[in-house]
């Protein structure tokens, strides 16, 4: 197949073009997701006493960017939700939980939101966090 961004021939098994690094999938296509079960989200850096939403947030990585979608009858997720195109991501970081919580890790993401910089943390199983981190790193090569 040919990359729709730079028109070079690329391997169709890849998610991202080996030449220009852009996504080879449809922009809104979900490449990877996890949650809502086993996912905690908080604003700012993950710490023991920060307010978190547990088990109601789905994290998605699409061809265009990342999303957190919270669905609950009891909690308004709007303060925790985000939808960030890859170009607005400033940094990503993977770190351990403050107290050992089994095989769980945290993905810390800083991104531009209007004029501001916002930091969010997502905690899930190490497998989920590592995969998301790897995919984000691949995509942020173009940033």
- Distance, in Å, from the CA atom of 65 to the CA atom of 70, rounded to the nearest integer, reads 17
Token pair 């296509």 in the structure block, residue: 29
Based on CB atoms, which residue is closest to Zn ion, 6 or 117? 6
Which regions of 15-142 does DSSP assign to beta strands (E)? 30-34, 40-43, 53-54, 57-62, 65-70, 82-85, 89-96, 104-113, 116-125
Based on CB atoms, which residue is closest to Zn ion, 4 or 71? 4
Based on CB atoms, which residue is closest to Zn ion, 6 or 47? 6
**Shortest separation between residue 98's beta carbon and Zn ion, angstroms:** 41
> How many residues sit in the footprint of Zn ion (CB under 5 A)?
6
State yes or no: residue 89 binds Zn ion (CB under 5 A). Answer: no
Which of 58, 56, 103, 99 lies closest to 82, judged by CA?
A: 58
- How would you classify the pairing of strands 53-54 and 30-34? unpaired
Based on CB atoms, which residue is closest to Zn ion, 6 or 101? 6
Contact characters 2-41, Zn ion, x per CB under 5 A: -x-xx----------x-xx---------------------
Task: Provide the binding-site residues for Zn ion, judged by CB under 5 A.
Answer: 3, 5-6, 17, 19-20
């Amino acid at each position: 197949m040919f990359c729709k961004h730079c028109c070079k021939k690329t391997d169709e098994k890849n998610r991202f073009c080996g030449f220009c690094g852009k996504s080879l999938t449809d922009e809104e296509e979900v490449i990877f997701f996890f949650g809502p079960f086993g996912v905690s989200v908080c604003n700012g850096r993950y710490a023991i006493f920060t307010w978190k939403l547990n088990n109601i947030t789905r994290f998605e990585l699409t061809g265009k960017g990342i999303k957190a979608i919270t669905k609950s009858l009891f909690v308004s997720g709007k303060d925790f939700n985000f939808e960030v195109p890859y170009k607005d991501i400033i940094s990503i970081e993977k770190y351990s939980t403050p107290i050992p919580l089994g095989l769980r890790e945290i993905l810390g993401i800083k991104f531009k939101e209007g004029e501001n910089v916002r930091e969010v943390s997502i905690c899930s199983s190490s497998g989920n966090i590592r995969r998301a981190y790897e995919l984000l790193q691949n995509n942020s090569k173009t940033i």
